[in-house]
Structure 1
């Protein structure tokens, strides 16, 4: 199997990112985040993931199956990944092209105009698990103070202020949920409809990859070189010893 740095065009200098992603992917296989399915877009590249989000029960998104691509930078976890929905999602914090706008995915810079505190932005202690949990929270409670989709934000406010009497926002979401079921059927996925089913841990993804597939070569390289140097030194020592005996 090719390594992600070869398949994805990443240099061996990013071996720390490969190690971090491999450990996170393994952790998410063993203990999946409730309401999500995570897998690699390609078995040979750890930097591009497919995330499937199940609409939380008792919300407008119930029964929805929303797919997104998560792309990690070469210096992960020091810089945040990006998340772009492939399924149409009408939401105040999702741009028309599908890009998710959420504080946790913004670089940790001081930008007073954004209205975000540096502590709300990305930092290396965050991980995929915290991102996914933040996405669920955002579906339930959109941030309308700095919306990515102004029209969706206006509709959401009308819906909330009218206590559901203004159906424009709700009707759009329901249509998108209905359309998303087609993808779920294609992927052979049964979307949980009750809270009980939603919180049950899902089975790990089929591509159960070993960590050694990704970072053994990267992280054993120095050790291998040391072993070679030791072997070379021993051979030189043996030769010297042999020459001494002959003289």
Structure 2
């Protein structure tokens, strides 16, 4: 009986999560169910944020939810090979442990660190700013620190990432996905589509001109660029 109750309540929670992500997608992500009849298994496509080393990258991951979600956290795993201080390398698959995410500053702002949206935002913030205090991949962490401390002169870390990003183009082509490479595309492409032709007025009012200009300039349209970028330039 208890098991049945968990299934019913977790399915309801997951349906709501999925609906809210479809209504207000997280920029830079596309979420699909691996199998339409299974709410517990999500496939995630992550687009590398423009103006970062991950620009143009198409990274696939999966989120598996437990039967007693949201009381137990989901498991997040990258399917694309990733070289990063906070991602374990497990044979061909790479796993990002949620313990890292729940310790990241972003999660502390949200007590509900189990929500898919928070997990996705945490993943993006970790890609941009690795947490080297308890690395899952020590070699990647050492390499990242060399790059950071040399103010970008030691390029070993970024070269590996660029190679991995380049390798993901094959996956993107196979899946028929156009990866956004400008901030405007990154922000707009993943938004819900505009209303029907008939109601263009609403759409024009909704984005006033300032917003559009901001997007052209590529300023803060959807995620905060990390501060370390300003010191290095």
Q: TM-score, normalised by structure 1?
A: 0.70
Q: 2:89 matched to 1:101?
A: no
* Counterparts of 2:6 and 2:115, CA distance in 1: 21
Q: 2:54 matched to 1:61?
A: yes
1:21–1:123 CA distance, 2 compared to 1 (3 A) = same
SS in 2 for 1:96: strand
Q: 1:184 corresponds to which residue?
A: 172
Q: 2:45 matched to 1:48?
A: no
SS in 1 for 2:52: coil
Of 77, 82, 86, 2:79 maps to 86
Deviations, residues 92-145 of structure 1 (Å, cap 9, x unaligned): 000002111344755xxxxxxxx889x839854641111111111110000000
Of 148, 152, 166, 2:136 maps to 148
1:22–1:185 CA distance, 2 compared to 1 (3 A) = same
Note the aligned Cα RMSD (angstroms).
Answer: 2.4
* 1:81-230 equivalent positions in 2, closer than 5 A: 81-97=74-90, 98-103=94-99, 106=102, 120=108, 123-124=111-112, 126-202=114-190
1:169–1:199 CA distance, 2 compared to 1 (3 A) = same
SS in 2 for 1:154: helix
Which structure has the larger Rg? 1
SS in 1 for 2:39: strand
Q: Kindly indicate whether the alpha-carbon contact (under 8 Å) linking 2:28 and 2:49 is maintained by their aligned counterparts in 1.
A: yes
Q: Report the CA distance between 1:183 and its aligned residue.
A: 0.5
1:13–1:185 CA distance, 2 compared to 1 (3 A) = same
Q: 2:222 corresponds to which residue?
A: none
1:116–1:88 CA distance, 2 compared to 1 (3 A) = closer
SS in 1 for 2:62: strand
Query: 4+ residue runs of structure 1 moved beyond 6 angstroms?
Result: none
Q: TM-score, normalised by structure 2?
A: 0.74
Report which structure shows greater RCO (CA 8 Å, sep ≥6). 1
Between Structure 1 and Structure 2, how many residues are aligned?
187
